[in-house]
Structures are given as C-alpha cells and as structure tokens.
C-alpha cells in the first residue's frame, strides 16, 4: 500500500486530503482517481461529515499542485455517484449520509433508540428538504404584521381562530369535510388527538388488523383494550363491528395504512349505519389525504354524518412532522368533552406557527406546495415501481394509488430475512409484521412497507438501488 502524502489546503477553505505518493504528479486520469479515492475515504471515515462544504476547484487545485480541470472532474464524478451535491450558486458539499463510517456501522443502536441510517425508506415520512421555506417565511411575516397583540397571548384552547376558519374552508374544499371553526380543535399532531379521544371515549377501540401501532398504544396507555378487524381488498370488514361490542372504531378509510387500499363505498355507509345504531363514533385518520395519483380523490367519510365522525389530520406529511400541527373536526356533542380533557391552558402549538399556517392556507401557498409535492412523489413512486419491475420482478407491489409508501409483498417466510439484511446495510424500512395487531386472526402476509418520501431528491437513486439489492439476483 502506498505511503500517504498529506496536502493541507491553505487558500480558501481548509481541507486535509491524503493522496497516494506520486498521484499529484501522475497523468490527469490517475490524479483524478487518486483524489476521488481520498475524498471517498474521508467521507467513509467521518472526517468529512454530511453537509460539509468543500473548497472551490481552483483553491483545491492550487494547494494540491494539480490541474483545476482534474479537481472539477473528480467533483463531477463524485456528484454523479451521490457522494457530493452541488446546486447552482452554492458550494459543493458532502451529500447527506450515503455510507456510514465503519465505526458507526459497528456501533449498536442505543437502547430504545434508532440507529443512524444510510437510506431512510421508512413509511410516512416526507422529504423535509422540500419544505417551502420561502413561502413559510413570507407567510410568517404577513401573519405577524397583521396579527393584533392579543393573538400572541394564550388564546383559545381550541386554537387560533384564523387557523380554524382557514382549516374549515380548506377541508371542505379539498376533502369534503363538513365543519365550522367552532368544531375544530387544533392539537400537536394526530398523536395528541388520539390521546384526547381516548380520554373522552373510555371504551374498547376497534382497529384495523394491520395498522400503525401507535394508534393502539394510545388506548393501552389509558388502560383500554383494542379489538382488531379483519382486512381484505375492500379495507376493514366493518360488518364485524357489532360482534366486537366496541362503540368506537379507528379507521384510515381513504388509504388504509399499511395495506394501501381504500374502504369500499358500501363499507363507508355501513360504518356510519353502525355508529348511528349503537351511539358509536368513527375516528377517521386522514393521514395522507392530499396525495392521490391514479384515481379520483376519495373524500372523507365524515361528510356522510359529521355527528358520528371525529376527523383527524395534520401537516406531518404535507409540510413537516416537526411543525407538530394537527387538528380534530369533532361532532358538536364531543367538543366540550375534548376541551375539558385538553385543559384551558394546554396550548401545545405555538400561536405564530398557527397564524403562519392560516396565512399559507388563505393565500393559496399551501395548495401550491401540495400540488408540487404531489407531482414529485408520484414521479418517485413511478421510479420505484419501474425499478422493482426490472430488477426484482418476483416482488408484488401494491397500495400505490396514493400516499407516500408502497407495500412490497414477499413469498411466505422471507420478510424477516430481508428486514434483517436491510438493517445490516443501513437501510431503514419496515416489515409488515411490525403493524400486525397481536390478537389479529386474519391471514398473515409477508411484506415490506417502503416509504419513498423521505430521501432528498439527490439521494433517491442511491436509496432505490440499495432497496433493489436486497432481493435475490441483485446482490441480496
């Protein structure tokens, strides 16, 4: 192995790279290859962290004593490979994590924590790099300029009135929800909404047999049981509700999570009939209602009977989970109970963020962002489907007409093996078993729940390649 020669960069940004002896004096191709190897190794070892800014072509070329075109060529190839990123008018930087350092790969995840991943394909996560920063900032400025001083106080525990009014208009227009501002309660995401509903509906909860596990966790925290409903191609079998004895049911009717099917129209009517007959309540989680691709939008079940449905949603998929802004559209008879459980001073969403979202909704900025992101995610979905059809044709892809995830059905017995393989390679994805209710008696299905929303645009090709390599014949 050649002895390393160190070249400190003294002009512009400082950088410490090691080229093999003789590389700097070799021909352009050899020098470029040596520089690329040195930069890859610095990234692998963690000396160049994700987001680190690199020197300009000229600066690095001067300090290494090599041609500027050689540095430019090395940068260009590393950008194409996904190691670096560059945007017009901005410096070249190390891409978000593409290969975990050796020490980090060997380090176990902390107890109760999550290991850092090279590729995040967990379901339900949006591309936060596409957050509309300029539009949000402009909306915040307008909202603060227009807001009276009292709007910056503790305010109404239901949430800022401008936001509730804009939500009522938007949800009616975009999702077919019947609401007025007095029946909307703003909360810090769907998770808090479920905690509050568990407090005011202290009865067993019927849930979909495969569902987000945090849903049943909220009822378990309240000391209440959950009862699984069987699933088929028409969604939850709501005709079984009477046999469960439950008086509250939680469904994802527009795009069942994680199976990806829509609740059959007859079952939409049937669950309302059940609620009317039993004094029951449907909690409708419209978690990704904005994203529909190959079909007409499926409106909210809430529109069939607003007095029998508690409709919940948030901006965690459309904008960012970090904003922690969600809402409930409640039956009139339930508003008082929910507010009592929330508490007069339990104001979990900042007033400025509420007013900013209200402005973004009212100005049309939210609609513009949703339309743009819908097109972007649709293209990603198409690339995912095409790549799997070409490289892993034995994998059946379903649940792709909407949302930010796809269900990859696997032959029986393969799920655990593939999930473990993905973990070893730093690929974050979920096995279908993660979402199966422990008491579910329906047929077991092996599969992967793969999200295509989270990777930044420049990192998506590498994530897609890593996913395909999990399967036989692709390095799996």
For residue 233, what pLDDT is reported?
A: 93
Ordered by start, the domain boundaries in the chain are 4-103, 119-130+368-468, 133-363
Helix H, strand E, coil C: the string for the chain is: CCCEEEEECCCCCCCEEEEECCCCCCCHHHHHHHHHHHHHHHHHCCCCCCCCECCCHHHHHHHHCCCHHHHHHHHHHHHHHCCEECCCCCCCEECCCCCCCHHHHHCCCCCCCCCCCCEECCCCCCCHHHCCHHHHHHHHHHHHHHCCHHHHCCCCCCCCHHHHHHHHHHHHHHHCCCCCHHHEEEECCHHHHHHHHHHHCCCCEEEECECCHHHHHHHHHCCCCEEEECEECCEECHHHHHHHCCCEEEECCCCCCCCCCCCCHHHHHHHHHHHHHHCCEEEEECCCCCCECCCCCCCCHHHHCCCCEEEEEECCCCCCHHHCCEEEECCHHHHHHHHHHHCCCCCCCCHHHHHHHHHHHHHCHHHHHHHHHHHHHHHHHHHHHHHHHHHCCCCEEECCCECCEEEEECCCCCHHHHHHHHHHCCEECEEHHHHECCCCCCCCCCEEEEECCCCCHHHHHHHHHHHHCCCCCCCC
Global pTM reads 0.75
For residue 141, what pLDDT is reported?
A: 95
The helix-helix angle for 351-363 and 161-175 (nearest 10°) equals 40
For residue 44, what pLDDT is reported?
A: 83
Neighbour tally for 116: CB within 10 Å: 15
The class that CATH gives domain 133-363 is: alpha beta
Per-residue pLDDT 10s for the chain (476 aa) are 343 444 443 345 667 776 754 444 444 458 888 898 888 888 887 888 888 888 888 888 888 888 888 888 888 888 877 788 877 667 888 888 644 433 333 333 433 334 457 899 999 899 999 999 999 999 999 999 998 888 887 778 899 999 999 999 999 999 999 989 999 999 999 999 999 999 999 989 999 999 988 888 888 888 889 999 999 999 999 999 999 999 999 999 999 999 999 999 999 999 999 999 999 999 999 988 889 887 677 889 999 999 999 999 999 999 999 999 999 999 999 999 999 998 876 667 889 999 999 999 999 999 999 999 999 999 999 999 999 999 999 999 999 998 999 999 998 889 999 999 999 999 999 999 999 999 998 888 899 999 999 999 999 999 999 999 999 766 55
| 124 Ramachandran zone, left/alpha/beta (phi>0; psi -120 to 50) | left
Cα(185)–Cα(338) distance, rounded to whole angstroms? 8
Radius of gyration of the chain (CA): 26
Task: Classify residue 67 by burial, with Cβ atoms within 10 Å: 0-12, 13-18, 19+.
Answer: middle
For residue 79, what pLDDT is reported?
A: 80
Say if residues 459 and 473 touch (Cβ distance below 8 Å): no
Domain covering 119-130+368-468 in this structure, CATH number: 3.90.1150.10
Q: The domain at 4-103 falls in which architecture?
A: Orthogonal Bundle (1.10)
236-251 CB burial, b ≥16 within 10 A, e <16: bbbeebeebebbbbbb
CA distances from 351 to 92, 128, 173, 191, 397 (A): 38, 22, 24, 19, 42
The pair of three-digit structure tokens given for residue 202, joined into one six-digit string: 């202290």
Cα(306)–Cα(352) distance, rounded to whole angstroms? 29
Bridge partners of residue 184, in order along the sequence: 329
Q: At CB < 8 A and 24+ separation, what contacts does 442-447 make?
A: 442/209, 442/228, 442/230, 442/231, 445/210, 445/409, 446/409, 446/410, 446/411, 446/412, 446/413, 446/414, 446/415, 447/407, 447/408, 447/409, 447/410, 447/415
Cα(249)–Cα(97) distance, rounded to whole angstroms? 41
For residue 348, what pLDDT is reported?
A: 75
């Amino acid at each position: 192995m050649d002895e390393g020669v160190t070249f400190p960069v003294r002009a512009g940004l400082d950088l410490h790279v090691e080229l093999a002896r003789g590389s700097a004096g070799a021909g352009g191709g050899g020098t470029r290859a040596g520089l690329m190897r040195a930069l890859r190794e610095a990234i692998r070892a963690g000396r160049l962290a994700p987001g680190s800014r690199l020197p300009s072509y000229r600066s690095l070329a001067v300090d290494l004593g090599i041609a500027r075109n050689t540095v430019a060529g090395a940068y260009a190839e590393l950008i194409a490979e996904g190691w670096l990123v560059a945007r017009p008018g901005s410096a070249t930087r190390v891409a978000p994590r593409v290969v975990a350092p050796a020490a980090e790969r060997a380090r176990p995840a902390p107890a109760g924590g999550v290991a850092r991943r090279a590729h995040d394909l967990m379901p339900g996560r949006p591309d936060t790099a596409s957050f509309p920063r300029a539009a949000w900032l402009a909306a915040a400025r307008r909202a603060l300029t227009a807001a009276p001083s009292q709007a910056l106080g503790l305010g109404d525990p239901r949430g800022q009135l401008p936001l509730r009014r804009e939500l009522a208009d938007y949800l009616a227009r975009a999702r077919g929800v019947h609401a007025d501002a007095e029946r909307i309660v703003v909360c810090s995401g769907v998770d808090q909404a479920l905690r509050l509903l568990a407090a005011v509906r202290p009865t067993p909860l019927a849930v979909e047999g495969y569902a987000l596990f945090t849903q049943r966790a909220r009822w378990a925290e309240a000391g209440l049981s959950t009862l699984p409903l069987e699933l088929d191609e028409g969604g939850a079998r709501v005709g079984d509700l009477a046999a469960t004895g439950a008086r509250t049911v939680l469904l994802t009717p527009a795009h069942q999570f994680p199976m990806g099917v829509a609740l059959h129209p007859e079952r939409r009517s049937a669950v309302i009939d059940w609620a009317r007959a039993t004094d029951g309540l449907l909690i409708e989680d419209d978690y990704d209602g904005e994203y529909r691709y190959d079909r007409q939008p499926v409106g909210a079940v809430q529109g069939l009977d607003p007095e029998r449905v508690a409709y919940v949603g948030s901006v965690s998929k459309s904008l960012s989970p970090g904003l922690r802004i969600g809402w409930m559209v409640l039956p009139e008879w339930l508003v008082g109970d929910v507010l009592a459980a929330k508490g007069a001073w339990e104001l979990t969403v900042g007033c400025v963020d509420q007013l900013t979202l209200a402005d973004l909704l009212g100005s049309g900025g939210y609609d513009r962002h949703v339309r743009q992101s819908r097109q972007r995610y649709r293209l990603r979905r198409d690339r995912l489907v095409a790549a799997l059809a070409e490289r892993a044709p034995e994998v059946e892809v379903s649940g792709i007409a909407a949302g930010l995830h796809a269900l990859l059905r696997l032959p029986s017995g393969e799920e655990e093996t593939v999930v473990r393989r993905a973990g070893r390679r730093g690929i974050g994805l979920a096995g279908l078993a993660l979402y199966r209710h422990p008491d579910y008696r329906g047929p077991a299905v092996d599969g992967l729940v793969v999200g295509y929303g989270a990777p930044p645009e420049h990192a998506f090709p590498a994530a897609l390649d890593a996913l395909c390599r999990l399967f036989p014949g692709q390095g799996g």
